[in-house]
Every structure is written in C-alpha cells, then in structure tokens.
Structure 1
Amino acid sequence: MVCGGFACSKNCLCALNLLYTLVSLLLIGIAAWGIGFGLISSLRVVGVVIAVGIFLFLIALVGLIGAVKHHQVLLFFYMIILLLVFIVQFSVSCACLALNEEQQGQLLEVGWNNTASARDDIQRNLNCCGFRSFNTNETCLAACMKNGHNCPSCAPIIGKYAGEVLRFVGGIGLFFSFTEILGVWLTYRYRNQKDPRANPSAFL
C-alpha cells in the first residue's frame, strides 16, 4: 500500500473526522463546565457554543460514515458542507486577525449592549461595573460594588484581553480552516478512487 492509495485516503479521512469529533465534544464539554462552575450564566452564549459543537459533530459523523462505507452521496454532501464551512471560517478568522483596537472597542460595546446576562458574568468575574461608565440605577454584581468601593469601568479591562483572545481565536480558526480544505481535497480524491476489494466491473 502506497500513501495516496485507496486505504491511505480512507485512513486519513477517518483520522481527520475523528479529530473533528473530539473538537466538537470538547466544545460541548467546555460549555457544560462553564455552566457547572457558574462561570457562564448566559443561555445564549452556552446555546451558541453547544450548537456549534453539535453541528461539527454531525458533520464529522457524516464524513466518518461516508469514509468507512465509501458512500458517494454522503461524501459529496460532506465535501460541499465542509467547503462552505471553510469559506465562512476563513473569512471570520481573517477578520479577527485584522481588527484594530478601535474596531475591537466598537465590537465589544455592541456585544455589551446586546447581552445582559453575559454582562453580569463579566462584571462579576472581572470585578468592574459598566462598560465606559456606570449608571447607579443599574445593578452590578462585582465584589467592589458590594464592598462599597469605587469600581473601575470594564472597557479597559476587557480591552487588555480582547486583542489576545481575537488573535488566539483567529489563529485557531485559521488552522482548522486549512484542515477543512485538506478534508475537501481528501474527500474529492477518495470519491474518485476505486475500492480494490469491490467488483472490478462495478462503476464508482
């Protein structure tokens, strides 16, 4: 068996989909861990993470079944879906890496204004109140507010981590986007290869 043959393509595709399965289970596990330890109380944030994990798990399952059975239809749909995911993920990863500080601040402020439950988590965990300024009519769960101290605003504290997080997310997303295009290429090649154990007179 030479690498590039039927068995090698099949094994590489199976290994790639097992990697995607592990990543999807890791995403679901992180969301559950965040809820269990009280780090995340926003159902919207948890729901998005779990939805992404389930979506990735289903894609990996389709690819794994298609690779094991050499199923042409499953492999075709797997290849198309993976290509679309690659385009979206590559675009988002490049956007994350290209954002400057001003754009990061605007994006963070939009997210702050649209997620009340995540806002409470941030204020409690980072010990700050308000994004740029704090309105005394609003509630703040930070420890500094409970102790009667002057609480700093959250924008500078979040800004310190935002650049690092965006670079990390962009880098990870860019890495996985290249594994996705590798998966598309492997699937295309594998679909057009003949199973040596099959009937020699059968068509692909």
Structure 2
Amino acid sequence: MFCGFSCTKNSLSALNVLYVLVSVLLVGVTSWARLLALVSSVRVVAVALAVGCFLFLVAVMGLCGALRQNQILLFFYMVVLFLVFVMQFSVSCACLTVNKEQQDLLLEVGWNRSEATQRDVERSLNCCGFNQVQNTSCTAKCAQGALCQPCAAIITRYTGDVLRFVGGVGLFFSFTEIVGVWLAHRLRNLKDPRKPPGAFL
C-alpha cells in the first residue's frame, strides 16, 4: 500500500519536474534568441514565451498537487493536461501526415503573414524572396552580389524532416501527458497510509 502511494506520488512529482525543466529551457532559449536578434518577430517570441510560462504554471500546479495530495489541484491539473494532450496529439498527427503540396501551401501562407519573419529567414538562410528573388527589400548578404536564390528552394529541403521531428517529439510528449493524467487520477484515489484511518483523502 505504501509503495503504491509513494511510487505514484514520486512518479508524478518527477514528471512535473521534467515539465518545469522543459518550460525553463523553452523560455531561456526564446529569450536568448531574442537578445541575439536571431528572431525579430515579436509574435513568434510572444507565443514561445506564453507556451513556456503556461507549461511552467501547469507543472507547478501538478507538483504542488502531488506533494500535498491536494484534490482540487490534482483535478484541475488532470483536466488541463488532458486538454493539452488532445491539442498536442492532433497537431503532432497533422505534422506527421502533411504531404508535399500542403507543406508548400503552409509555407507560402506563413511567409506572406509576417514581414519580420521574412527578414529573419532571408538573413539566416541567405536567400531572397519566396518563389522569386526580390533584391529590392532583401536583407540577406547575397543581395549585394545578385547571386541569391529563392527561399522556398532552401526551406523545402528541410521542411519534411522538421515536420517529422516536431511531430515525433510532440507525439512523445503527448503520451507523457496521458501518463501524467493517469498518475494524477491514481494519486487522487489513493489514501496516504501515514494518515489516521478516519481521515479524509
């Protein structure tokens, strides 16, 4: 009985410590990229920071719920983590099933939505324009020598591999989230053997 309770509690705590580390890493890498001007798009930075902070709050909620065996925190942790699982699993499956035509369409739509992202891509990949070279507004080094190629040709070489990698990592973490939901549910229904027999859960 004690082993079941303590193993469940320690496993859930360890899982949430892992989530805290991932969230701190995400916020740190995003801040580092912004400080070094690797990413100039405020929207991309804001989304990455928001995801990192959200993951941190969920992990802290799960950690506190596990350590104190707080029924309310564990319940909300289960609900939030299950909703995150559904979204993340859906996005991961979509990343793994996107075909070449859909990849090209998504890239072009993403390219046309943000000029800041266009400049970042041109500067980092040393290319100009998406399908056609446009030296007039290009910030890449190759624009000075007129030897640039369109960015679509460079991006599409890596798109499939990146989507498979992102989909695989997302799928892996989505299953850890289901494990977290199961552990939280199990911990909510286990009684701490160190408490008096008449005490509430």
Give the aligned length. 201
Tell me, in whole angstroms, the C-alpha distance in 2 between the residues paired with 1:198 and 1:72.
Answer: 15
Residues 159-178 of structure 1 aligned to structure 2 (within 5 Å): 159-178=156-175
Further displaced range: 158-167 or 127-136: 127-136
Task: Indicate which of 140, 143, 151 corresponds to 1:142.
Answer: 140
1:60 equivalenced with 2:48 (yes/no): no
Runs of at least 5 residues in structure 2 that lack an aligned partner in the other structure: none
Residues 42-191 of structure 1 aligned to structure 2 (within 5 Å): 42-135=41-134, 138-146=136-144, 148-191=145-188
- Would you identify which runs of 4 or more consecutive aligned residues in structure 1 move more than 2 Å? none
Residues 72/20 of structure 1: CA separation in 2 closer, same or farther (3 Å cut)? same
Aligned to 2:200, the other structure's residue is in SS state coil
Aligned to 2:46, the other structure's residue is in SS state helix
Aligned identity (percent) is 60
Aligned to 2:192, the other structure's residue is in SS state coil
Q: Cα RMSD (Å) of the superposition?
A: 1.2
Deviations 1:182-202 (A, max 9, x none): 000001011000011222112
Aligned to 2:130, the other structure's residue is in SS state coil
1:99 counterpart letter in structure 2: V
Give TM-score scaled by structure 2 length.
0.96
Aligned to 2:37, the other structure's residue is in SS state coil
1:2 deviation in Å?
6.6
Quote the residue 1:37 is aligned against.
36
Tell me, in whole angstroms, the C-alpha distance in 2 between the residues paired with 1:200 and 1:2.
Answer: 14
